[in-house]
């Protein structure tokens, strides 16, 4: 199969909707990362996602809708607190987990009786879902384990030959995946931190729980798999980075440093960011670039674990082989 990167014209979006109607899969942009979509109500189509990504069967997918009210078609009941968050943050990077109705096939939920749903804030994604006339099951459109794709080219590199179309929506605005919050437990619980932070949520609905990044008790099946890994070894540094360390590690390695713009060290390859928003937007692309430049070690400076920093550190911890504290 030949994979084409196509522009988000009306005709192309219609072509993709048709491809989805046939039970095939295509990739599309969202405000977080690119998604690999299939008709969420078609078991056979959903299965194709798992095969293309090489994704473990027990890791459930997110259902994407284009109209807030559609959630009632797929879940038994929307608790008041969930509704408050939906009203505040949708369309946007927030996924809610609720008890599913029968119409939702077990393939998308990996056999669980709950389903994850979100309404993305991306015009192309919304148009595609509306044109299709069914919700889209969509995980991030990378090969399983790799960094999530934030450019159409990333999707192409991972999935060429496996899908017909990638709709090019330029760089994703946010760059890391949506916040996932589970409403099936007694106290709502964040299973995956994202741009919508605990503080933003608690302002609306009061106290919630957060699952720690390193937990033995796995609630979200996706939490137990390795994620976001570039080929290079990632060293996450929580202390001040000394020039001597830089010199020593650079002697025998091809090293990339990802640093806050205020950190001043001398090295051959440095990528700098000023804000956490900038880091989130670029981190996965920088990981992928490093791989294409045959970099064997990426040294990343840790950020403060507050607000968006929490989500960034969650991804960095999962990607890293070594954490220096
Ligand atoms: O921003 C995003 O959420 C992107 C874009 C494409 O929308 N999608 C995404 O999907 O990141 P994925 O499949 O890479 O991550 C979905 C996460 C996984 O960790 C999965 O285990 C969890 O959500 N999940 C899905 N359904 C669940 C359920 N019923 N119960 C618990 N966790 C669930
Ligand atoms: Mg993913």
Q: Round the CA-based radius of gyration of the chain to a whole number and report it.
A: 20
Q: What is the residue with the minimal CA distance to atom 24 of ligand 1?
A: 60
163: which strand partners? none
pLDDT band at residue 210, thresholds of 50, 70 and 90? very high
Kindly state if the Cβ of 109 falls inside 6 Å of ligand 1: yes
Exposure b/e, 45-63, CB count within 10 A at least 16 = b = bbbbbbebbebeeebbbbb
pLDDT at 41 exceeding the cut of 50: yes
The strand pair at 179-182 and 189-192 is best described as antiparallel
Mutate to test the pocket of ligand 1, among 61, 64, 318 (most ligand atoms within 8 A of CB): 61
**pLDDT attached to residue 215:** 39
Which atom of ligand 1 lies nearest, measured to the CA of 62?
A: 25
Contact 175, 273 (CB under 8 A): no
The strand pair at 255-260 and 270-273 is best described as parallel
pLDDT at 174 exceeding the cut of 60: yes
**pLDDT attached to residue 224:** 53
SS3 82: helix
Contact 101, 74 (CB under 8 A): yes
pLDDT at 217 exceeding the cut of 50: no
Q: What is the pLDDT of residues 56-81, one digit of tens each?
A: 989 999 999 999 999 999 999 999 99
Kindly state if the Cβ of 26 falls inside 6 Å of ligand 1: no
pLDDT at 216 exceeding the cut of 70: no
SS3 255: strand
Kindly state if the Cβ of 32 falls inside 6 Å of ligand 1: yes
Gap from CA of 248 to ligand 1 centroid (Å): 40
Average pLDDT over residues 274-293: 97
Gap from CA of 140 to ligand 2 centroid (Å): 4
**pLDDT attached to residue 212:** 79
Report pTM: 0.95
Kindly state if the Cβ of 30 falls inside 6 Å of ligand 1: yes
**pLDDT attached to residue 214:** 59
CA atoms of 20 and 40, how far apart (whole Å): 10
CA atoms of 255 and 239, how far apart (whole Å): 18
Average pLDDT over residues 301-315: 96
Kindly state if the Cβ of 140 falls inside 6 Å of ligand 1: yes
């Amino acid at each position: 199969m030949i994979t084409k990167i196509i522009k988000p014209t009306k005709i192309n979006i219609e072509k993709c909707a048709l491809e989805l109607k046939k039970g095939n899969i295509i990739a599309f942009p969202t405000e977080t990362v690119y998604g690999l979509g299939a008709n969420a109500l078609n078991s056979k189509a959903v299965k194709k996602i798992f095969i293309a990504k090489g994704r473990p069967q027990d890791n459930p997918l997110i259902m994407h809708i284009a109209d807030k009210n559609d959630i009632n078609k797929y879940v038994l009941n929307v608790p008041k607190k969930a509704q408050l968050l939906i009203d505040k943050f949708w369309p946007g990077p927030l996924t809610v987990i609720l008890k599913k109705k029968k119409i939702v096939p077990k393939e998308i939920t990996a056999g669980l009786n709950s389903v994850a749903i979100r309404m993305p804030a991306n015009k192309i994604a919304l148009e595609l879902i509306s044109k299709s006339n069914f919700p889209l099951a969509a995980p991030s459109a990378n090969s399983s384990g790799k960094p999530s794709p934030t450019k159409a080219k990333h999707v192409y590199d991972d999935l060429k030959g496996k899908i017909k179309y990638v709709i090019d929506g330029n760089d994703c605005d946010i760059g890391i995946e949506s916040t996932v919050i589970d409403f099936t437990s007694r106290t709502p619980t964040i299973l995956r931190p994202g741009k919508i932070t605990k503080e933003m949520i608690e302002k609306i609905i009061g106290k919630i729980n957060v699952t720690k990044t390193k937990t033995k008790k796995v609630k979200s099946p996706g939490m137990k798999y390795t994620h976001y890994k570039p080929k290079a070894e990632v060293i996450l540094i929580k202390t001040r980075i000394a020039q001597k360390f830089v010199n020593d590690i650079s002697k025998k390695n091809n090293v990339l440093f990802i640093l806050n713009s205020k950190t001043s060290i001398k090295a051959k390859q440095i990528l700098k960011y000023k804000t956490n928003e900038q880091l989130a937007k670029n981190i996965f692309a920088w990981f992928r670039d490093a791989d294409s430049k045959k970099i064997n070690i990426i040294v990343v400076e840790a950020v403060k674990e507050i607000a968006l920093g929490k989500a960034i550190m969650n991804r960095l911890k999962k990607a890293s082989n070594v954490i220096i504290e």
